[in-house]
Amino acid sequence: MKKKVSVLSLLLVLMVSIMPGLTTMAQADEPQQKEFRVAMEAGYAPFNWTQNTDKHGAVPIQGDKSYAGGYDVQIAKKIAEKLGRKLVIVKTEWDGLPPALESGKADAIIAGMSPTAERREQMDFSDAYYESNLVMVTRADTKYAKAASLKDFKGAKVTAQLSTFHYSVIDQIPSVKKQEAMDNFPAMRVALESGTIDAYVSERPEGVTAESVNSKLKMVQFRDGAGFQTSPDDTAVAIGMRKGDPDLAAVNDILAGIPQKERDQIMDEATMNQPAAEEKGKQENSFVRILRQNGKMFLRGTGVTMFLAITGTVVGSIIGILVGVYRTIPVSENKIKMVFQKLFGWILNAYVEVFRGTPMIVQAAMFYYGTALLFGFDLNRTAAALFIVSINTGAYMSEIVRGGIFAVDTGQFEAAEALGMTHSQTMRKVVIPQVLRNILPAAGNEFVINIKDTSVLSIISVTELFFQGKSAAGTNYMFFQTYTIICVIYFILTFTITRILRYVEKRLDGPADYVPVTEEE
């Protein structure tokens, strides 16, 4: 009976975790104003950034209590208004933008993206909504700050953002020491300030912003004919849409109705209104400023991280116990039962090997975007993240449980069998209680790992702690301070959990010395 209750409980938990996603899919068919879902990083100022209020026309971010502002947001607002649709901002990692579009999670990408030939193979692009020139960003205290041509960067360590044409033009620099591409601009700015690189390739709006809010950085513009050789598609910034999207023509008509003067004005306002520029000149400790600006974001991110880690570990442990116990059941003598038992055991072995042998970030991307591509399910991202953490944890916990069962002395199995106990009774009353105590340290370690590993779930736009920290760093340009705060929060979480688990272990062990009760007593 207890085993049946456990199985039913597990199924109930999984159904509850998936239900929000199914609800989202069902609600999409309701007669409501059609949405125009725009994907962007919300961390690439002045094109887009994250803030706490709707100041300067910022728009709420889907699934979060933050707002997105910037040039891209204002362009998106004009398009959505003309289309008669409700604008929804889908905050997504740069690498997650194409999958979000292809899977239907977003209707358009408005994120400072250039319509390169490689990207045109995956999606259609609108006409350009901004023209940008390439620049280099370096430290103001180096010889490269006075550069006027590509030749002046000879021998320099240079990088650019991953999956952008910026990275390919580095090869035009003579004798350059090309570094590995980086995932985002906050990472490149940290590397630049720390001296890991000498410069990175950027666009003029980002370079102007970096130079204006951080006196240690310098934007380098090249004289005519001495800079990067690019094509019009490279310097243009356009809107990415799905292949054959019927709204593409309407979007182009809307863009054609926005004169260049108005576009320049929008960019100037975005550069001036971004949070980092507004805070410039204020005499305030940088850590205090970051916490004042982003404290609520960090708290929300911490809450999401702990929710995923706790729930995922509990559900994963239940899965691990069920799988681990099943894999220790003796082979049935009945041939039919034996076949089904081995078949199901093979499936469980495949599950364990696959989820232990592949990264969680890949599992999350495949599950979240794959279900949309293959089945049309618009899963809730938090539910999808919870499912991934749970089944990933279950794969690891099943091996831990199996090892814990084999660690129990075989004499106890023999004694239970001599008393007439079935395998199920032996497991419930003799083995599992010991296994739970023995695997507690390993389960606690898995909990701590889950707290940290939730950071990879930003690939499916889950606004956990690290994603919120990266967004804040991309907005305030104080990278070392922001990541220091995030690091401290992670340490407090893991240290506290570790201490609690050790206390629980001691309580389960009981007192160190047991005093036997004598007959006189």
In the chain, the domains with their CATH numbers are 35-125+238-282 (3.40.190.10), 131-235 (3.40.190.10), 310-508 (1.10.3720.10)
Residue-wise pLDDT for 278-303, tens only, equals 666 566 788 888 898 889 999 999 99
Given a cut of 70, the residues of the chain with pLDDT beneath it are: 1-32, 278-283, 510-521
Q: What contacts 48, CB < 8 A, 6 or more positions away?
A: 40, 41, 42, 68, 69, 70, 71, 72, 73, 110, 111, 112
Give me the phi and psi of 446, to 5 degrees please.
Answer: -65, -35
Is the sign of the CA dihedral 290, 291, 295, 298 positive or negative?
positive
Tell me how far apart the alpha carbons of residues 21 and 105 are, in angstroms, rounded to a whole number. Answer: 12
Tell me if residue 236 falls in helix, strand or coil: strand
Total length of the chain: 521
Tell me whether strands 236-237 and 130-131 are parallel, antiparallel or unpaired: antiparallel
Q: What is the pLDDT of residue 214?
A: 81
Q: What is the pLDDT of residue 386?
A: 94
Residue-wise pLDDT for 388-425, tens only, equals 999 999 999 998 888 888 888 888 888 888 888 887 88
Q: What contacts 163, CB < 8 A, 6 or more positions away?
A: 94, 95, 181
Q: Considering the chain, what is the average pLDDT of its residues? A: 86
Give the largest CA-CA distance in the chain.
103
- Which has the closest alpha carbon to 329: 426, 410, 399, 411? 426
- Which has the closest alpha carbon to 206: 255, 241, 247, 164? 164
**Burial grade of 36 (CB within 10 A; 0-12, 13-18, 19 or more):** buried
Tell me how far apart the alpha carbons of residues 298 and 468 are, in angstroms, rounded to a whole number. Answer: 6
Q: What is the pLDDT of residue 18?
A: 42
Q: What is the pLDDT of residue 345?
A: 86
Q: What is the pLDDT of residue 463?
A: 87
Distances (CA, A) of 29 to 331, 378, 381, 448, 499: 49, 12, 19, 40, 48
